[in-house]
């Protein structure tokens, strides 16, 4: 069974090669040059450029790459699952669906399931890692599809950013919602609901915002003793480790996964972003 993911999952390049996961790279344009995410650019390059005033732009996965991979899947009569970046944050899912439909015109037996994760960054990455685990356990195509779809529906994604203007400029948040970004020392707590970025609360001060996010974790996640918590950061590993220590002290999760927010998502979220991911208590 072939598993595909795009670079919106913010997993490192070696994961894709080590675990035999097909990578679809989104693209990022900075300082008049376009790069394939993960393959050709490190996230820190984007953050450093943004600190210098650059305004990166991003674009979805090349339709031609979808076509090549899906045709190969059909010709080899393999089963495939593509777990996609949230359709409400990127057009990549819609393009993949369109290309799969075209491939089925010539290969009607194509066995490919495209799942709209409604997730981003490491919340999405945790789904991909779970899919690899299930594949390695020999879970069937149908059962994996059901389990990953259900896990995606129960993934909670909380985050705070240093500057909401980045999200507004990229169209990931309405400009009316971004007004709080200009208020002195006010840090927004946002979450992803049905694949869309929604403001939750306004907290004065970054550490107070993190403490409130941990309170929300307790409210929404219940018992964390058997849960993996994902933490993504916008080029601020030191603070991400502080956040991990706070969560560890208060909630004692089973394990942590940590990564830097990738170039494409970082181009919209900006430096200093901190995001926390976990499945809710109903999963």
Query: 180: which 2 tokens?
Result: 């709080």
Note the pLDDT of residue 199. Answer: 83
List pLDDT tens digits, range 183-241: 456 778 989 988 888 888 888 888 899 999 999 999 999 999 999 999 999 999 999 99
Rounded to whole angstroms, how far apart are CA atoms 169 and 252? Answer: 37
Asked if residue 163 has pLDDT above 80, the reply is: no
Q: What is the DSSP string of the chain?
A: -EEEEEGGG---HHHHHHTTEEEE--EEEETTEEEEBTTTB-HHHHHHHHHTT---EEE---HHHHHHHHHHHHHTT-EEEEEE--TTT-SHHHHHHHHHHHHHHH-TT-EEEEEE----HHHHHHHHHHHHHHHHTT--HHHHHHHHHHHHHTEEEEEE-S-THHHHHTTSS-TTGGGGGGSTTEEEEEEEETTEEEEEEEEESHHHHHHHHHHHHHHHH---TT-EEEEEESS-HHHHHHHHHHHHHHH--SEEEEEE--HHHHHHH-TT-EEEEEE-TT-
Segment 53-80 mean pLDDT? 96
Model pLDDT, residue 223:
94
Confidence of residue 80 (pLDDT cuts 50, 70, 90): very high
Query: Which residues make beta-bridge pairs with 24?
Result: 6
Q: Where in the chain is the domain with CATH 3.30.1180.10?
A: 155-279
Predicted confidence at residue 196, as pLDDT, reads 86
pLDDT of residue 168: 64
Higher pLDDT, 241 or 171: 241
How far apart CA 89 and CA 196 sit, in angstroms, is 7
Task: Give the pLDDT score at 173.
Answer: 55
Going by pLDDT thresholds of 50, 70 and 90, the confidence category of residue 5 is very high
Alpha-carbon distance 158 to 203, whole Å?
Answer: 14
What is the mean pLDDT of the segment spanning 126-149?
Answer: 97
Residue 58 pLDDT level (bands cut at 50, 70, 90)? very high
CA 20 to centroid of chain Cα atoms: 19
Q: Which pLDDT value is given to residue 130?
A: 97
- Tell me what pLDDT residue 56 has: 94
Is residue 120 scored above 80 in pLDDT? yes
Task: Work out the average pLDDT over 174-183.
Answer: 52
Where exactly does CATH 3.40.50.10440 map onto the chain? 2-26+61-153
Q: Which fold has domain 2-26+61-153?
A: Rossmann fold (3.40.50)
Residue 198: predicted pLDDT: 86
Q: How far is CA 178 from CA 37, 40, 165, 167, 198, in A?
A: 26, 31, 6, 8, 11
Q: With beta carbons less than 8 A apart as the criterion, state whether 128 and 16 touch.
A: no
Mean pLDDT of the chain: 92
At residue 204, the pLDDT reads 82
Class of domain 155-279: alpha beta
What phi, psi does 175 have (nearest 5°)? -65, -30
């Amino acid at each position: 069974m072939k598993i595909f993911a795009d670079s919106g999952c913010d997993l490192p390049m070696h994961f894709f090669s080590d675990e035999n996961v097909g990578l679809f790279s989104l693209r990022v344009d900075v300082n008049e040059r376009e790069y394939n995410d993960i393959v050709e650019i490190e996230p820190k390059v984007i953050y450093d450029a943004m600190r210098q005033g650059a305004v990166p732009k991003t674009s979805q996965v090349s339709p031609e790459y979808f076509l090549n991979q899906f045709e190969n899947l059909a010709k080899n009569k393999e089963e495939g699952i593509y777990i996609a970046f949230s359709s409400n944050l990127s057009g990549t899912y819609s393009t993949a669906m369109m290309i799969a439909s075209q491939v089925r015109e010539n290969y009607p037996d194509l066995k490919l399931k495209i799942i709209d994760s409604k997730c981003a960054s490491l919340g999405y990455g945790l789904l991909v890692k779970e899919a690899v685990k299930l594949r390695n356990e020999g879970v069937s195509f149908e059962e994996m599809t059901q389990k990953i779809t259900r896990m995606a529906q129960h993934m909670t994604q909380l985050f705070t950013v240093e500057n909401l203007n980045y999200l507004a400029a990229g169209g990931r948040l309405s400009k009316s919602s971004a007004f709080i970004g200009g208020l002195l020392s006010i840090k927004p707590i946002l979450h992803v609901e049905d694949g869309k970025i929604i403001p939750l609360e306004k907290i004065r001060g970054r550490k107070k915002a993190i403490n409130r996010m941990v309170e929300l974790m307790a409210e929404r996640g219940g018992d964390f003793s058997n849960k993996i918590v994902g933490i993504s950061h916008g080029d601020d590993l030191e603070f991400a480790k502080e956040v991990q220590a706070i969560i560890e002290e208060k909630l004692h999760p089973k394990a942590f996964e940590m990564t830097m927010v990738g170039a494409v998502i970082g181009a919209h979220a900006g430096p200093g972003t901190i995001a926390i991911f976990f499945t809710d208590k109903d999963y």
